Amino acid sequence: MHKGKGAKYRKSWGIAAAALLLSLLAPEAVQAETSGSITVLLEEGISPEGIRFSCTKIGSIVQGSYLLDASFQKTGLDLNEIKTSAEMRDAAEQLAALAVGGTVAAPDAEGIAKFENLEQGLYLLNAESTGSYQTADAALAAIPSWEETLGAMTYDITVVPKFKSWEPEKMTLFDTGYSSRLAGCAGGAGAAAVLLVLLNRRRAVKK
């Protein structure tokens, strides 16, 4: 999976992530009428089966700064003050808790999902479903973002979500202690039944 064209995306991810952070730190003048796109790329080894992503516009670019939409301002976040990738990740998780709706897309067989014809602004990428026994971090993407290799703003953004796997817990119907107590109860009930049968037989013999 992800050979050829995908390899190019993987190579540019480190640059793209840094570019997004730089864009949040220092928004620049943009071309007002230019739309853009966001490509979500699964890392190699992640199966696209059962995975869905949502893309929700959560903010705008106003006079060179990012402004959250009214429904997200209750978080108290100021994205223009973000200085580290960890702060950006935490902000994305807080915003994801309030996100409703958005456009949903599923990755194709190559692990690529694309959201196109997006107006300028700030977007939240969130996993609506992640398949079996894995979760994915929410991510922020700005259109446009700074592209270091071009030395200019780019309107076509690539996001590689970070997945985390977990093992399901093994479940049993009863714990050992409970099973032992059940066995004890069953044994006691059986002994009582045998004793009752013996008593009845003695009474029958006496008659």
**Contacts for 90-97: CB closer than 8 Å, 24+ residues apart:** 91/140, 92/124, 92/137, 92/138, 92/139, 92/140, 93/137, 93/138, 95/58, 95/68, 95/124, 95/138, 95/140, 96/124, 96/126, 96/138
pLDDT at 182 over 70: no
SS3 53: strand
**pLDDT bracket for residue 27 (50, 70, 90):** very low
Tokens of 142: 């700005």
**pLDDT bracket for residue 146 (50, 70, 90):** confident
Q: Cα(3)–Cα(8) distance, rounded to whole angstroms?
A: 8
Segment 75-101 mean pLDDT: 90
pLDDT at 38 over 70: yes
Q: Residue 139: which residues within 8 A CB-CB, separation 6 or more?
A: 89, 92, 124, 125, 126, 159, 161
Write down the architecture of domain 5-165 according to CATH. Answer: Sandwich (2.60)
pLDDT at 80 over 70: yes
SS3 150: coil
**pLDDT bracket for residue 91 (50, 70, 90):** very high
Q: Which residue has the higher pLDDT, 14 or 121?
A: 121
SS3 118: strand
Instruction: State pTM to two decimals.
Output: 0.68
pLDDT at 180 over 60: no
Looking at residue 128, its pLDDT comes to 78
Looking at residue 33, its pLDDT comes to 63
**pLDDT bracket for residue 129 (50, 70, 90):** confident
Q: What are phi and psi of 150, to 5 degrees?
A: -90, -20
